[in-house]
Structure 1
Amino acid sequence: MLGLLTAFFVPGVASVDCYSRFNKLQGMSRILAGETDSEGNAVTSIGVATGMTLDLCLQTCGRGIWDNPERWLDFCEKFSTWLLPFLALVSQLPFGGDTPFENVMSILLNVGSPTLAAYSVTLTTLNSRWIHRRFSRISYPSAQSAARVLDNLQQSRLQVTEDDYVLSSLIVLPENDQYWAELLIFLDVKHSYTWSFSNIASIIWVAMAFLLTVIQTFLDNRESIDSNGIAVGFAWLWLLAIVTCSLNAAPRCDITLLGNAIERANQKLSLAKYMDQPESLDLTIQQPAISLDAEGGGSITSDERRTAPIYNYARMVPWSLSAGRMYAAFSAASYRAEHNIPVSAEIPWEQGTGQRVNPANRRGRRDQVAAYIQRPSDQLAEIAGGGSRSLHASLMALLLTSGTLGSAMLMDWYTPTIGLSCRSGTYMIYSLNSVLVWSMLMTANHLTTSIVSLEGKTGHRRFPYSASSAMLLWRAAKILACMNTIWIVSTCALGFAGVYENCWCNSAVLTQGPRAYIAMYFTQQDWWKPLVGITAFASLSVGGFVWFNIGLNPSAAK
């Protein structure tokens, strides 16, 4: 909106036709002090002057905005070509919030911190690989179904019961094999976020628009080439990668559907009795084996309960602990089954058919079933690994951020006049704020996890200052993300409206210093090599990120 308003008012506010005035300088019979070539070197011939120093520019053109008689048409063309397709693509991000405010906040966090968005998407992929890789080693019945269930519940605050006999009944009793199969069916009903014609068309539209404009830039031989458009494209290219990888991850974002699916499955859960036959679970008395905590924990853990994938950064530790507990229980049961150890010591082992464990070997009293999932002392299973996944996700997030936002900054940096200008500076600020938001939320989440863990051991609150620090970081990061979203949208629109077309912004004075100059005219040869390198850098970064999240995913289809 700010850019649209500016586009109306800029042509009439302190505007000057600087190019015409510069052309008049070239028509003079003598060289003025301050005329340069496109690299800022003083010229000795009037005909080769293609630039001027900052001082001469201020004398010739003043401090106002350079006039463009077709500024509104130019704004409309660039806005619709470079920025509008990406703004439309924002609607294809996964949401799933309970309120419109939560969905808006999800958009602001994604746009305000591409680093956080890339981190959460990659973490989802790594968690999926980790859980499927761990459970692929287990041959116990329903283990692979359990892995798919845990994978599908990454967008919720998953809780696995601490009651061994409830968890052991779910895993060991043959009557509960149907529990896992039906839970998967319930989770697949109304799949909340996956490939559709709408989002595929949006992705193709954005990709083709970007590709065609890049090709046009390479083929453009006009003087005074404008890099603003392609720089904006690079600055938003991360969104194409995030949407594509999110669609591939197919997150379940609707907390109501997730809760209903688990509730329906829990109604069919059977528990081991003191005798031989199982009994149905009384949900009013017993704690379910799997549940979603949608209310507990207070405001300090509120991000864990929000189902949008952008909040996966806050769920890594609790989800990993719950998934690890489930894996350890399945692993222990599989270990005993592989060694022909039945649940009940009074019943001899009976051979099953093929790879299936005979149901007779999976029945016993409540205490026997509970003991069956206890890990033997000689069984060393890898359960954690969260730190490694977080590190890899961080590296991929920084790769995507630097490859796209860094390319946008370098595109304007290497466009004559070479150096840090208003445009490249705005992309630098946006990139730094993106990383800062991610760092602040990661720090706040680490503090929150430590507080919850220690309070769980001590039973009462002992860390008020840590809790206050976590809450302060959490709120400050979200405010900064909102401001960063406004910043990048406004600065792109303002660039198209011509606000940065003035002597100071075009002189790269921040890096050129006293030698500051303005390259009024230059050709593709002046920036062709940097353009090729920057385009390759951005393409490899996006391609590498997408390949890592899609091409290397060994898990079965969800």
Structure 2
Amino acid sequence: MLAAYSLALTVLNGRWIARRFSKHNYPNTQNAIRVLSSLQQAPLRVTNEGALLASLIVLPQNDPWWRELIEWLAWHHTWSISTVTSIAWVIIAYIFTVTNSFTGELDPDFNPDGQSVGSLWLWLLPIVIGWLQISPKCDEDRVRSAVERANKIAYAATDTHPVSVKDLNTEDRAIHLAFGEEDEVLRCDEMVTAPIYNYARFLPWVQAVEKVSEMFEVASYHHHHHTSVDPTIKWIAMDDSIGGHWSKPHDRNRVGSVEQVARYCEFDPHDQHTAFKSMWGPNVFSRIAIASALAFMLQWGTVGAAFIVVFFTPTTGEQYSFTFHLLINTEGFIHHSVGLGCRSGSYLLFGVLSTIVWVFLLISSLLVHYVATSSPSSAHTRNEPLTFQGHHGGRSYPLRLSIARHFAISLRRLAKLLATVNAIWILATCLFQFGNFFDRCYCNSSVFGRGSGAYNVIKLVASDVEPMKNAWVGGVCLAGGTAFLFVGFFNVFIEPTTSRKLRSGDY
């Protein structure tokens, strides 16, 4: 469930950032979208200390920075012949398994294990397809190297003229990756570049993007009103670019002193826009709700399908002596024994534990962000740029934040322990099914659901077959339908209209 949640968040973030920047028309707006979207798999941080971020946005000397970083981040782990073949074989195998369940003869030893297990693991298919389409930049060494190489060609404004950032007496960079956070215990998941950990990077990434967007917004406002960075330099008219965009500013209108560059990207302190800023970021809870609903749908659509198949299938086996009740109908046959048993109970437990793990990790990520943004050393309390630095384990936190910190860490560790146990359990369950471990009197009698009224099935009657097959049809439609809807979701949202519009121009 966590994998589906992180994937849905990544897709929604891509759409959100495209819309967030769609009204900005300052140079490198499009490049900023591509850079920031590509860095969803890294602990992104931004800082405007010494007008570094403002310089990165405004100065024409930094245009190559954006272009080069995009090029250095432009590697893909996407479709190949072997990948397509593997996915095709999975789909074909599932179709054959389902077809065999409906066309095969229902002998005394039949069971729907193949169909139920296939439905149980069907959630993997849309997850794999989704990440292949997104092609996340999750190689830590390559991402770190790309950002570091780009920062070597960055420029910053000074009191006289722009200079290379590497020549300044500072280690700060406008955009950097915080793989070396001091409180690594608190934020360890955020620093792991595997896509499934996007849930932990969501909130700090949103705030970093929002900081960049705000500066592009102010710069675009000044650009729209033909205001130069240096007020003493008159606006130089340029030819309009294609696509209906405003004219691109002349390079002379984009240079000035460090104070002028900083002011060019700052909101008026008396503006209502800056009256209140949430520690969470814009529209984060709506995206969390949508991603949660999609993950819940995929998780319980596939697990629920497997559960339905085995729950409504009478468990039959060899006729042997047992002590459970035998209920005989008027025709002399045993009624079908459906209900909660070893197989369906195992699936239900897997689904419940997966959901609990996701809830624990979601709460933990919210607490981590709350602690990081509420501590005395955070950007929010110091009125300084979003550097998220100054953590010293739990020693620098007030009591309430220290409690929240330890609770977040404990929740995360408990969730990972449960996830490990759950993974082992579901693999063991599949082995038990195919190894006939569950083919015993206790498991074949739906004891969990029927209790003292449990019984074993010796022979199916004709009236039992139709409802059983109806449940199979429902299970297959539920699993396939939810997987199809999930794939359809990210194919609709992965390529927003605003992104296509931005591609048409040079911004």
TM-score (normalised: structure 1): 0.76
- The amino acid that maps onto 1:240 is L
- The amino acid that maps onto 1:546 is V
Residue 206 (structure 1) aligned with residue 90 (structure 2): yes
Aligned partner of 1:173 in structure 2 is 59
1:109-134 Cα distance to aligned partner (Å, 9 max, x none): xxxxxx11111111111111111121
User: Which has the higher mean CA deviation after the structures are superposed, 368-377 or 310-319?
Assistant: 368-377
Residue 130 (structure 1) aligned with residue 66 (structure 2): no
CA drift of 1:418 comes to 1.5
Distance 2:195 2:187 in 1: 15
- 2:47 pairs, out of 133, 139, 161, with 161
Residue 492 (structure 1) aligned with residue 430 (structure 2): yes
CA drift of 1:283 comes to 5.9
1:493-539 Cα distance to aligned partner (Å, 9 max, x none): 11111111112211112222343222333364241211112211111
CA drift of 1:207 comes to 1.2
CA drift of 1:337 comes to 0.8
- State whether residues 132 and 148 of structure 1, in contact with CA within 8 Å, keep that contact through their aligned partners in structure 2: no
- The amino acid that maps onto 1:446 is L
- 1:468 pairs, out of 378, 382, 406, with 406
- 2:129 pairs, out of 228, 244, 251, with 244
Aligned partner of 1:233 in structure 2 is 118
1:536-558 Cα distance to aligned partner (Å, 9 max, x none): 11111111111112232224599
Query: What runs of 5+ residues in structure 2 fail to find an aligned partner?
Result: 241-246, 315-336, 383-389, 391-395
CA drift of 1:267 comes to 1.0
Aligned partner of 1:323 in structure 2 is 209
Residue 532 (structure 1) aligned with residue 416 (structure 2): no
Aligned Cα root-mean-square deviation (Å): 2.0
- 1:366 pairs, out of 258, 264, 268, with 258
Distance 1:520 1:126 in 2: 52
Matches within 5 A, 1:409-448: 409-416=307-314, 417-448=337-368
Distance 1:321 1:394 in 2: 20
Matches within 5 A, 1:81-96: none
- State whether residues 140 and 330 of structure 1, in contact with CA within 8 Å, keep that contact through their aligned partners in structure 2: yes
User: What secondary structure, in the 3-state scheme, does the structure 2 residue paired with 1:351 have?
Assistant: coil
1:349-376 Cα distance to aligned partner (Å, 9 max, x none): 2222223222222122211111111124
Matches within 5 A, 1:292-307: 292-296=177-181, 297-307=183-193
Distance 1:134 1:283 in 2: 34
- The amino acid that maps onto 1:438 is W
1:422-454 Cα distance to aligned partner (Å, 9 max, x none): 000000000011011111111222222111112
Distance 2:492 2:362 in 1: 27
- The amino acid that maps onto 2:342 is C
- State whether residues 218 and 265 of structure 2, in contact with CA within 8 Å, keep that contact through their aligned partners in structure 1: yes
1:392-440 Cα distance to aligned partner (Å, 9 max, x none): 1111110001100111111101112221110000000000110111111
Aligned partner of 1:453 in structure 2 is 373
Aligned partner of 2:287 in structure 1 is 389
Structure showing greater radius of gyration is: 1
Aligned pair count reads 441
CA gap 1:212/1:391 in 2 versus in 1, 3 angstroms: same
1:114-165 Cα distance to aligned partner (Å, 9 max, x none): x111111111111111111211221111001101100000010001113261
Aligned partner of 1:516 in structure 2 is 454
Distance 1:432 1:284 in 2: 54
Distance 2:199 2:339 in 1: 36
Distance 1:549 1:379 in 2: 36
Aligned partner of 2:444 in structure 1 is 506
- 1:281 pairs, out of 165, 169, 178, with 165
- 1:546 pairs, out of 484, 487, 499, with 487
1:432-484 Cα distance to aligned partner (Å, 9 max, x none): 11011111111222222111112123873113322222221111111111111
CA drift of 1:231 comes to 0.6
TM-score (normalised: structure 2): 0.83
CA drift of 1:284 comes to 6.3
CA drift of 1:378 comes to 5.5
- State whether residues 344 and 368 of structure 1, in contact with CA within 8 Å, keep that contact through their aligned partners in structure 2: yes
1:72-126 Cα distance to aligned partner (Å, 9 max, x none): xxxxxxxxxxxxxxxxxxxxxxxxxxxxxxxxxxxxxxxxxxx111111111111
- 1:406 pairs, out of 304, 308, 323, with 304
User: What secondary structure, in the 3-state scheme, does the structure 2 residue paired with 1:291 have?
Assistant: strand
Distance 1:253 1:371 in 2: 36
1:306-357 Cα distance to aligned partner (Å, 9 max, x none): 0001111110111011011011111111111112222111112222222322
1:233-264 Cα distance to aligned partner (Å, 9 max, x none): 11101111111111111111111111111111
- State whether residues 203 and 284 of structure 2, in contact with CA within 8 Å, keep that contact through their aligned partners in structure 1: yes
User: What secondary structure, in the 3-state scheme, does the structure 2 residue paired with 1:153 have?
Assistant: helix
- State whether residues 308 and 472 of structure 2, in contact with CA within 8 Å, keep that contact through their aligned partners in structure 1: no
- State whether residues 38 and 137 of structure 2, in contact with CA within 8 Å, keep that contact through their aligned partners in structure 1: yes
User: Which has the higher mean CA deviation after the structures are superposed, 351-360 or 417-426?
Assistant: 351-360
User: What secondary structure, in the 3-state scheme, does the structure 1 residue paired with 2:338 have?
Assistant: coil
